Amino acid sequence: MKLLVINGPNLNMLGIREPNVYGKTTYLELESFIKGICVQEDIQVEVMQSNHEGVIVDTIQAAYQVFDGIVINPAAFTHTSIAILDALKAVGIPTVEVHLSNIYEREEFRHISYISNYCIKTIYGEGIQGYQKAIMLLKETVSS
């Protein structure tokens, strides 16, 4: 299985940005956590982060017929990006959406997720453990 993990804007600031909301884990620690799970599960993984919507759209399009699953934390683009939603629909790759915080217990504008319209599941409020759940769900989905 080949998995793509996409992280959206400001996730490169993990450990610095609002640790009371996002925790103290740094982005490098998150990447290491994801790669460690994938090694244990015999999954090939590529992890990327971008603050730019177009780069994320290009990355999703480039994943077509290359990756078996996508884990995406679109961050703020969750609530605004129909372009990312359309890119996911276009490639048709099974996708799980992850959010570190519980977006439904935060500001009302964070309750809207365009991305979830395509995803198998949205996992939120579980910190970095949410990525592990997403990876395991995709492994199960792709294997069945």
Distance CA(82)–CA(102), nearest Å, equals 21
If 0-12 CB within 10 Å is exposed, 13-18 middle and 19+ buried, where does residue 40 land?
Answer: exposed
Question: Any catalytic annotation for residue 99?
Answer: yes
Residue 140 neighbours by CB under 8 Å, 6+ apart: none
Distance CA(124)–CA(131), nearest Å, equals 10
Question: Any catalytic annotation for residue 22?
Answer: yes
| From 99, 114, 124, 131, the catalytic residue | 99
Residue 106: count other Cβ atoms within 10 Å of its Cβ. Answer: 14
Active site residues: 22, 99
